[in-house]
Structure 1
Amino acid sequence: MNRHKIFIFHVALWLLIWATAWIFSGGDSQFAGENFMALLFQILVIAILIYYTVPQLLLKKKYVAFTIVSIVIILVITLILTRIIPNSILGIEGEMGRLPRPGPRPGPRFEDGQSLSGNPRPPSRFFINVLLIAIAYVIATLAEIFLFAKRKEEEIIINKNVALQTELKLLKSQINPHFLFNALNNIYALSAIDSGRTQKSISYLSDMLRYVLYECEQEIVPLYKEIDYIENYIKLFSLKSSKTYPITTSFSIENQNVQIVPMLLIPFLENALKHSNIEKITGTFINLTIISTTASIDFEIENSKPEFNVIKDDVGGIGIENVKKRLAILYPNHHELTINETSQAFKVNLKLQLNG
């Protein structure tokens, strides 16, 4: 909301307040005449606040200067409203041959000058005007503080979203080179064994690259595309040997078009392939299960653990820490990641609530 709109809002607010007070006074013309100038000076002091003291002092954190200037403005405006304006009006009326209105006649008094009626003196017009001007000024100041806090909150949300998007892009940039590195390593190993299988692996790699380069640019993708990528990854890995790797998959998908963020599940498979010593075949296993409904996805993968640690390539996988970060950003409070590790197996279970 720009300053002109804020000013118009305050003018409309005080017009409404004074109109309501005038209606409750019975539509008295004298009430309107006596308070019309107060309304004009309230508008004046609000304009000074909105266009000068707030942007030049308050928002620049010059709090002492803002307080002093505000007090001076309120007192000067009140003096003009109470002393100068009435005297000017009386002077104009005198020039036109009209006498000022007589004040109230003094009532009977005691000998010492005290009034017999005992009624307290009403507050002075200066005091009333100070209250009217100060109330308008304070309300406008509180409104400005509220709007400023709201703008700051919106800026924080926007900056946070930008930071999250930047982090997601960084995480994606970590995933894609790692995928390509692993895939090329697999093809290189296969080329020394069987050229026919090498052609198949290149075909699988082509499909996978198409998914990574084009589909993964989207924030979400259909689940079936993520599953196709996982299947191609396993096929590409399996072509490394003429033997059948003990890898089992089970997919129970209620709706293949249910949406998921891309490349979220593959790090778990990469981790399992790397640390299960699956190439040994005997005594090893990888079991992968995906069960999906329209409201949730349940991903589970379990792999064997070798008796002794197997030394792999120097370049480590992206790992589960990457996935945890993405889950915290993309599925906050709508995911459950459980990791169980024993001496024989490593098991990961991820539950995603898609309605969130």
Structure 2
Amino acid sequence: MVLLFQIFVIAILIYYTVPLLLFKKKYIPFTLVSIATIIVVTLILTNIIPEAILGPESTIRPGPGARPGPGPRFENGPPLDSIRRPPSKFFINLLLIAIAYVIATLVEIFMLAQRKEEEIIINKNDALQTELKLLKSQINPHFLFNALNNIYALSAIDSGRTQKSISYLSDMLRYVLYECEQEIVPLYNEIDYIENYIKLFSLKSSKTYPITTLFSIENQDVQIVPMLLIPFLENALKHSNIEKITDTFIHIKLTASTNQIDFEIENSKPTTPVVTDAVGGIGIDNVKKRLAILYPERHKLEINETSQAFKVNLKLQLHD
């Protein structure tokens, strides 16, 4: 009978007091309703139920042959029965019902906290994905603007090389529009994109730009977040005054092992400020945000500036 009433008060707790009072932060009504529920159920269990089942005059009678008389007693003391008087039935039932109620309340609170934590994680992931999509949408138009500017400048010089540049641009757009939709891509695809970008840029002039590259990949299965390194190259091309060719340079070095990628790019610093277009300026900040989201505690970015050069070092730890 006690078990049935415990189930009853837990049902009240789950379907009424917790969702309608406790979870809505109505702590005083929740406390009052809980105390009233426990007391009322205990009274019913102690008084009404036994009388309904056994009758109002039900008592425990002594067996045949039992003789009334005083029970055992301590020497010169009260009867032993008066000392070992057990707790009342009401108190025992109250304790059992209250313990069940409190445990059920704690379980409900724990489950609520767990659900809240799951919701926070889901919302955080959704926010990160939204931010990453926004950052990607900032990268692609910036790249396209620069590439089209290069092709436009080349079209006035050499139509044959313009066709080559369009072919390079086609490969690059295929990478940006399709492969970059994936969370990670093979590192050699990112390297191909960098090389095509340099080729596209180099077609602007018949002279050879002082751009050097060194790529050393130990494992062809190494993967990286797409479009992560390009803004550094864009920044170097934009601020090195590389079109001057004389006394300018861009050095790119990338080494990769199974667990780490080291990227280094250094470009000359012109003696006079370079006049750049108003579009852009989001590249490096964009990369910093993406690194914080995609490689938290697993990247090291150093940007150093001297009187003669800018140098960027990026180290990525690919696995925890």
Given the two structures, how large is their TM-score scaled by the length of structure 1?
0.84
CA distance in 1, matches of 2:255, 2:130: 31
Question: Could you tell me which residue of structure 1 aligns to residue 59 of structure 2?
Answer: 100
8 A contact 1:248–1:286 mirrored in 2: yes
CA distance in 2, matches of 1:162, 1:228: 31
Does 2:316 correspond to 1:352? yes
Question: Could you tell me which residue of structure 1 aligns to residue 195 of structure 2?
Answer: 231
Distance apart, 1:319 and its partner CA: 2.1
CA distance in 1, matches of 2:252, 2:301: 15
CA distance in 1, matches of 2:51, 2:174: 85
Question: Could you tell me which residue of structure 1 aligns to residue 17 of structure 2?
Answer: 53
Distance apart, 1:64 and its partner CA: 1.4
CA distance in 1, matches of 2:72, 2:315: 89
Amino acid at match of 1:278: I
Distance apart, 1:103 and its partner CA: 7.8
Question: Could you tell me which residue of structure 2 aligns to residue 197 of structure 1?
Answer: 161
Question: Could you tell me which residue of structure 2 aligns to residue 167 of structure 1?
Answer: 131
Distance apart, 1:233 and its partner CA: 0.2
CA distance in 2, matches of 1:317, 1:195: 31
Does 2:175 correspond to 1:211? yes
Aligned-partner SS, 1:351: strand
Equivalent residues in 2 for 1:136-175, closer than 5 Å: 136-175=100-139
Aligned counterpart for 2:305 among listed residues 325, 341, 346? 341
What count of residue pairs does the alignment treat as equivalent? 312
Distance apart, 1:317 and its partner CA: 3.3
Aligned counterpart for 1:272 among listed residues 236, 243, 248? 236
CA distance in 2, matches of 1:281, 1:71: 85
Any idea what the Cα deviations from partners look like across 1:234-291, whole Å, max 9, x if unmatched? 0000111111111000000112231111000000000000011111111111000110
Question: Could you tell me which residue of structure 2 aligns to residue 13 of structure 1?
Answer: none
Question: Could you tell me which residue of structure 2 aligns to residue 320 of structure 1?
Answer: 284
Aligned counterpart for 1:116 among listed residues 60, 79, 84? 79
8 A contact 2:139–2:283 mirrored in 1: no
Question: Could you tell me which residue of structure 2 aligns to residue 9 of structure 1?
Answer: none
Any idea what the Cα deviations from partners look like across 1:98-123, whole Å, max 9, x if unmatched? x631389784699xxx9433615322
Higher relative contact order (CA 8 A, sep 6+): 2
CA distance in 2, matches of 1:173, 1:293: 30
CA distance in 2, matches of 1:240, 1:102: 113
Aligned-partner SS, 1:193: coil
8 A contact 1:278–1:284 mirrored in 2: yes
Aligned-partner SS, 1:77: helix
Q: Describe the shift of the 1:106–1:48 C-alpha distance in structure 2 as closer, same or farther (beyond 3 A).
A: farther
Aligned counterpart for 1:306 among listed residues 259, 270, 276? 270
Amino acid at match of 2:96: L
Aligned-partner SS, 2:212: strand
Question: Could you tell me which residue of structure 2 aligns to residue 249 of structure 1?
Answer: 213
Question: Could you tell me which residue of structure 2 aligns to residue 40 of structure 1?
Answer: 4
Aligned-partner SS, 1:245: coil
Aligned counterpart for 1:259 among listed residues 220, 223, 234? 223
Given the two structures, how large is their TM-score scaled by the length of structure 2?
0.93
Aligned-partner SS, 2:37: helix
CA distance in 2, matches of 1:225, 1:187: 23
Amino acid at match of 2:285: E
Does 2:175 correspond to 1:177? no
CA distance in 1, matches of 2:24, 2:219: 55
8 A contact 1:108–1:115 mirrored in 2: no
Any idea what the Cα deviations from partners look like across 1:159-208, whole Å, max 9, x if unmatched? 00000000000000000000000000000111111111111110100000
Aligned-partner SS, 2:215: strand
Identity of aligned residues (%): 78
> Gapped runs of 5+ residues in structure 1?
1-36
> Gapped runs of 5+ residues in structure 2?
none
Aligned counterpart for 1:293 among listed residues 257, 274, 287? 257
8 A contact 1:303–1:346 mirrored in 2: yes
CA distance in 1, matches of 2:79, 2:222: 89
Aligned-partner SS, 2:83: coil
Amino acid at match of 1:203: S
Question: Could you tell me which residue of structure 1 aligns to residue 91 of structure 2?
Answer: 127
Distance apart, 1:308 and its partner CA: 1.7
Distance apart, 1:344 and its partner CA: 0.9
